[in-house]
């Protein structure tokens, strides 16, 4: 299969094009996106989908696991994650008690001990837990899931909360992948977002992690933060590239202060404009490519021999709630407050506050707040969106054969928009395929949005949307 170019976009991008695509849009870690979930899908719906899994085609397949640890000692102003800011570490033990209850309910519904090929601990800051608490959590998971010998076991690490000894303990517990939250090394930016950590401390942790034999080290960066400029962020890119993490996740900052209270502490006058953000993205892509990294897609880079880069070249890349992944579209068992699961054609999101989460579990119910059962159209459009987001190419004859549709007829309403994207130079409508161009990778979310039917209808009222029925505010795509 022909692969999309990884060369950077031209230095000059037409101002009119930039203005036209400076819009909000989903990141498509799922389709349909989480704002489309409904409270009509509840605890019993998830339990039923877990029970169905016993006799379904996915029963023989391993699962992926996600555990959300919401606690942080201090707040980062840019953060949009579900978190609880506290220095009271004793709260972690009570939370682990709740996770034990949830694990028991999930295991009872599954009725067996499935294999697990992937585990990710996210947050919050999972390293808020002590070593003994992490050991307790891992033991509970291993009692209910059989981890494959080659399972990817990863944890998000706040570099301010660990040292070489803690990394060694994580390795002993079975973690083989780390993700360091760096965001930016510029002291002015760090002060503006209330997250200060030195280049030297992170570099020392990377050296220790390699010596301990971690298979993959990821670094998270954010562009578009207050006080950033294309020039200052280029320095951070150079510094990160010199550390040689195996993977780099590069996210555009989404300023949504109406939804996320910590962001209200950011001085909006210090935020870079869209044009500067695009220059940061362009400079980062050029910078990491020049340092030997492969451009995986919208927000990921990897060294050429990393499994993520290998999967990209082989056309086996996937996308899930953690971003790009080498793992196939396996069932995702998600545990903890606000965590989102996928079981078969069903999504389920847990309750978002600790009090509500605890109340459901104490009552013997799975702590589901809302979810969605995908219909045939959802699955067809999901396949189109993920092909473009992951491979940068949609092979039309193969798509028609798999989904039993006439592509041009099924997506007749989308054809004018596809032609406009082609005129803009974002896609190439080649015989039998839609190909994302090098320029199009900058706007790949806009390309995927063409196939999102939910963007053409109003959103019902939800906790995110407020009491009124109005479109959900996504992050801007640039």
Same domain, 269 and 410: no
Same domain, 286 and 431: no
Omega before residue 23 within 30° of 0, cis = no
Given this model, what pLDDT does residue 7 score? 43
End-to-end CA distance of the chain: 28
Same domain, 319 and 450: no
H or E element in which residue 156 lies:
strand 146-157
Phi/psi region, residue 225 (left: phi>0; alpha: psi -120 to 50; beta: rest), is: beta
- Say if CB 337 and CB 91 are below 8 A apart: no
- The answer as to whether 153 is a domain residue is yes
Domain containing 477 equals 1-32+376-478
- The answer as to whether 296 is a domain residue is yes
Given this model, what pLDDT does residue 478 score? 63
Same domain, 20 and 125: no
Phi/psi region, residue 147 (left: phi>0; alpha: psi -120 to 50; beta: rest), is: beta
Same domain, 197 and 95: yes
Given this model, what pLDDT does residue 13 score? 63
Same domain, 134 and 9: no
- The answer as to whether 323 is a domain residue is yes
- The answer as to whether 356 is a domain residue is no
Given this model, what pLDDT does residue 254 score? 84
Number of structural domains found in the chain: 2
Q: CA-CA distance, 438 to 207, in Å (whole number)? A: 34
Q: Which of 280, 309, 332 is the last residue of a domain?
A: 332
Same domain, 415 and 276: no
Same domain, 27 and 171: no
Q: CA-CA distance, 228 to 222, in Å (whole number)? A: 10
Residue 14 is part of a domain; what is its CATH number?
A: 1.10.10.920
- The answer as to whether 353 is a domain residue is no
Given this model, what pLDDT does residue 62 score? 95
- The answer as to whether 106 is a domain residue is yes
Same domain, 165 and 254: yes
- Say if CB 448 and CB 385 are below 8 A apart: yes
Same domain, 66 and 26: no
Same domain, 432 and 313: no
Given this model, what pLDDT does residue 313 score? 87
Given this model, what pLDDT does residue 473 score? 55
Strand stretches in 374-438, DSSP E: 393-395, 427-430, 433-436
Given this model, what pLDDT does residue 293 score? 95
Same domain, 229 and 180: yes
What 3-state DSSP class applies to 302?
A: strand
Q: Which of 301, 316, 332 is the last residue of a domain?
A: 332
Q: Which of 266, 301, 332 is the last residue of a domain?
A: 332
- The answer as to whether 370 is a domain residue is no
pTM for this predicted structure: 0.90
Given this model, what pLDDT does residue 469 score? 31
Residue 53 is part of a domain; what is its CATH number?
A: 3.80.30.20
Encode the chain (478 residues) as per-residue pLDDT tens digits.
Answer: 444 444 444 454 666 777 788 777 888 989 999 999 999 999 999 999 999 999 888 888 999 999 999 999 889 999 888 888 888 889 999 999 999 999 999 999 999 899 999 999 999 999 999 999 999 999 999 999 999 999 999 999 999 999 999 999 999 999 999 999 999 999 999 999 999 999 999 999 999 999 999 999 999 999 999 999 999 999 999 999 999 999 999 988 988 888 888 999 999 999 998 888 888 988 898 899 999 999 887 788 999 999 999 988 888 888 888 788 887 778 999 999 999 999 999 999 999 999 999 999 999 999 999 999 999 999 999 999 999 999 899 999 999 999 999 999 999 999 999 999 999 999 999 999 999 998 888 788 899 999 999 997 644 433 333 322 334 457 666 6
Planar angle of CA 137, 142, 145, nearest 5 degrees: 125
H or E element in which residue 122 lies:
strand 115-123
Give CA 390 to chain center in angstroms: 13
- Say if CB 147 and CB 153 are below 8 A apart: yes
- The answer as to whether 159 is a domain residue is yes
């Amino acid at each position: 299969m022909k692969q999309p170019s990884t060369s950077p976009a031209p230095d000059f991008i037409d101002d009119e094009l930039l203005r036209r695509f400076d819009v909000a849009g989903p990141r498509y870690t799922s389709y349909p996106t989480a704002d489309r979930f409904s409270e009509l899908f509840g605890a019993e719906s998830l339990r039923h989908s877990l029970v169905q899994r016993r006799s379904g085609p996915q029963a023989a397949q391993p699962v992926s696991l996600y555990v959300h640890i919401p606690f942080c000692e201090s707040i980062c102003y840019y953060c949009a994650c579900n978190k609880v800011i506290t220095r009271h570490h004793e709260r972690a033990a009570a939370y682990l008690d709740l996770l034990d209850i949830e694990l028991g309910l999930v295991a009872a519904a599954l009725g067996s001990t499935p294999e697990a090929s992937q585990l990710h601990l996210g947050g919050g800051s999972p390293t808020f837990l002590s070593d003994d608490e992490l050991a307790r959590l891992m033991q509970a998971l291993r009692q209910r899931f059989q981890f494959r010998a080659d399972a990817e076991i990863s944890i998000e690490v706040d570099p301010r909360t660990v040292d070489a000894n803690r990394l060694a303990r994580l390795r002993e517990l079975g973690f083989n992948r780390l993700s360091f939250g760096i965001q930016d090394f510029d002291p002015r930016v760090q002060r503006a977002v209330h997250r200060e950590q030195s280049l030297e401390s992170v570099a020392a942790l990377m050296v220790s992690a390699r010596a301990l034999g971690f298979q993959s080290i990821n670094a998270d960066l954010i562009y578009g933060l207050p006080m950033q400029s294309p020039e200052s962020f280029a320095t951070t890119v150079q510094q990160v590239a010199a550390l040689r993490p195996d993977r780099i996740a590069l996210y555009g900052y989404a300023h949504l202060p109406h939804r996320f209270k910590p962001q209200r502490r950011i001085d909006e006058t210090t935020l870079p404009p869209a044009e500067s953000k695009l220059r940061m993205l362009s400079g980062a892509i050029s910078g990491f490519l020049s340092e030997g990294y492969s451009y995986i897609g919208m927000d990921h880079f990897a060294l050429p021999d990393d499994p993520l880069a290998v999967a990209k070249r082989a056309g086996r890349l996937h996308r899930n709630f953690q971003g790009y992944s080498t793992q196939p579209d396996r069932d995702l068992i998600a545990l903890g407050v606000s965590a989102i699961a996928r079981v078969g054609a069903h999504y389920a999101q847990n309750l978002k506050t600790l009090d509500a989460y605890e109340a459901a579990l104490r009552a013997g119910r799975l702590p589901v707040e809302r979810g969605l059962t995908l219909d045939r159209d959802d699955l067809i459009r999901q396949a189109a969106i993920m092909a473009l987001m992951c491979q940068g190419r949609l092979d039309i004859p193969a798509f028609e054969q798999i989904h039993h549709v006439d592509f041009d007829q099924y997506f007749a309403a989308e054809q004018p928009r596809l032609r406009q994207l082609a005129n803009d130079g974002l896609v190439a409508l080649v015989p039998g395929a839609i190909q994302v161009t090098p320029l199009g990778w900058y706007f790949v979310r806009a390309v995927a949005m063409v196939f999102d039917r939910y963007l053409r209808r109003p959103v019902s009222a939800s906790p995110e949307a407020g009491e009124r029925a109005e479109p959900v505010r996504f992050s801007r795509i640039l």
